Amino acid sequence: MAKAFNKSFTQQEAIDQESIALAMRVLKSGRLHRYNTLDDELSQVSLLEQEYALYQDAHYCLACASGGYALNIALRAAGLKSNEAVLTNMYTLAPVPGAIAGAGGHAIFIEVDNNLLLDLEDLANKAQSSGARFLLLSHMRGHIVDMENLMGVVEKYNLTLIEDCAHTMGAKWNNTRSGNFGLAGCFSTQTYKHINSGEGGLITTDDAEFMARCIMMSGSYMLYERHGAAPDPDAFKKIRLQTPNLSGRMDNLRAAILRPQINKLENNIRRWNERYALVEAKLRQVKNIVVPDRKAKEFYVGSSIQFRIPNVSKQQARNFIEDNRQLGVEVKWFGGDNPSGFTSNHKSWQYVERQQLDRSDRILSGLFDLRLPLTFSKQDCGLLADIIADCAEKVTTNLHE
């Protein structure tokens, strides 16, 4: 049996000196609000928007209060009407159905497959039967569905695609950045994501009028000309008095913390992927464990890893989690009756009409998840994979699905 693990699964790396120095400048200036600028000054938020738009290869970028807020206003700015249907993954986290509800829509969940990807046949069927106009595609835990095939369905049913890239900042499908396939990409900069400002969100798009609406909604006090990566003032003329202010701006302090992190993102992705590869290789050798397959076109960011123990019973799953916990490894489970921490499923989103999702329920009943923070060394990752492997050996289940 491997020795116990003793590091925290929620400890991120410290914010580095460059971010701290920039944040100190903001604090000393007292100008924390994004529109509180000197004559020709571009605020830290505007600079972040410019720099992220460049990184993302998008025309426009808006920084805002959170990833969930970004999803909410993206849906509204895309034209979602009250009580209108939004197609979305069944396998996602609570902010996604929450954003749909917050924007006044109702979620229709699409099944996922064994590799945790959207089931495109179910998507096509439900797009047809519901007549929905919107797809909020959540690249949950960084798993990217075949985007060429997905876009085929999107085009056939004339869907407006918004990508939830909370877990795919920096990821690509066939060399196109996740977030650039549809109308908009929405990102989170909450502490456990790929860049960390505690809370925060980003919306990117190439569509000028959509971005103008997002900016108005975020609470621009008609100061939209002071944005870093905004469309021309002309784009605002038609919509400026028709768009409600739903204040959710980002402030200069958080933007200052984030800006230097963009330059470090590619290197951090490399570090995450080294850790992921190491854990994945070990888990793939365990008889009871199935790790999702990933396509060659998918360039993912391995900041967490998911694996299945097919046909595991609820009691076996609980024992497996407890055995890991006793050895210091925090494994999350998507099949529990009650939401625990970050893991919930459609049965706990009771504000959404109940839906029959047998296939995904079966998959999630044996689905486990763990974070791989960069505070874990490669040696730590080896140890935690050995612990999981030992605990999984104890689960006697019939792997045949």
Ligand X SMILES: Cc1ncc(COP(=O)(O)O)c(C=O)c1O
Interacting residue ranges for ligand X, rule: CB under 6 A: 66-68, 92-93, 95-96, 138, 140, 164, 166-167, 188, 190, 201
Kindly give, in sequence order, each residue whose CB lies less than 8 Å from that of residue 29, ignoring residues fewer than 6 positions away: none
Q: Shortest approach of ligand X to residue 179 CB, angstroms?
A: 12
Q: Shortest approach of ligand X to residue 186 CB, angstroms?
A: 7
Alpha-carbon distance of 202 to 204, in angstroms, equals 7
Pairing of strands 106-110, 85-89: parallel
The 10 Å Cβ neighbour count of residue 225 is 10
Of 188 and 220, CB closest to ligand X:
188
Q: Shortest approach of ligand X to residue 164 CB, angstroms?
A: 5
Kindly give, in sequence order, each residue whose CB lies less than 8 Å from that of residue 154, ignoring residues fewer than 6 positions away: 135, 161, 182
Burial 117-148 (b: 16+ CB within 10 A, else e): bbbbebbeebbeeeebbbbbbbbbbbbbbbbe
Residue nearest to ligand X as judged by C-beta position: 67
Alpha-carbon distance of 369 to 343, in angstroms, equals 9
Of 224 and 333, CB closest to ligand X:
333
Of 98 and 382, CB closest to ligand X:
98
Of 23 and 250, CB closest to ligand X:
250
Of 220 and 304, CB closest to ligand X:
304
Helix (H, G, I), strand (E, B) or coil at 126: helix
Q: Shortest approach of ligand X to residue 154 CB, angstroms?
A: 19
Q: Shortest approach of ligand X to residue 189 CB, angstroms?
A: 7
Q: Shortest approach of ligand X to residue 89 CB, angstroms?
A: 9
Of 51 and 164, CB closest to ligand X:
164
173, HSE (Cβ side, Cα atoms, 13 Å): 21
